[in-house]
Amino acid sequence: MLKGNLAPDGCVVKRSAVAPEMLVHEGPAKVYESEEEAIAAIYSGKIVKGDVVVIRYEGPSGGPGMREMLSPTSAIAGMGLDKDVALITDGRFSGATRGASIGHVSPEASSGGTIAYVKDGDIIYINIPEYKIELKVSDDELAKRKKEMKIKKKTDITGYLKRYAESVSSADKGAIINR
C-alpha cells in the first residue's frame, strides 16, 4: 500500500513484481482517460523511458466496475519499457501483472480524487520502500485545478450498470454497492 497526495486513501502495488531499479521512480505524467487511449499511445511510441503512465476513469464508479489493466502493462513490457516506466490507475491489476503497476488509486477520478487533476508533464514521485506516492504540484495549484477542471461522468450507461456507478463505494472500501 502506498499513500500520498495522489492517493490519500491509498493505492496498491505488487512489490515483488517491481524491478529493483523502479522501486523509487520520479517522472513526468502521461495522462489518459481510458485503457484504450493508453494502449494506443504505448504502441505508437508516445511513452518513453522515465514516463509515468496515468490511466484514470477506470475505477469502480468511473469504469464502471474496475477494469483489469493487463493490456497496458503487457504493452509496456512488450515495448521493453517495464523497467523504465510506471503505470498508475484507479483501475485494477491481476496477479499476472509485472512492473511498477500501481492500481486501486483511492479516491478515484470520478469521485474527485487527485488522479482526476493530474496533467501531462506533472512530476510523480513513487517510493515503494517508503510506501509513498506524490504528485509534485503545490496545494495552491491543485486547488486551482479542482475549481477549473470538470470531473467526467459516463452518460452512455443504463440499467444496473448505471445504478452500480452511482452507488459503488471506493476501491479502498471494497468497491461494493452502498445501500
Catalytic residue set = 94
In angstroms, rounded to a whole number, what is the distance separating the alpha carbons of residues 96 and 98? 7
Buried b (16+ CB within 10 A) or exposed e, 24-45: ebebebbbbebbeebbebbeee
Cis peptide before 129 (omega within 30 of 0): no
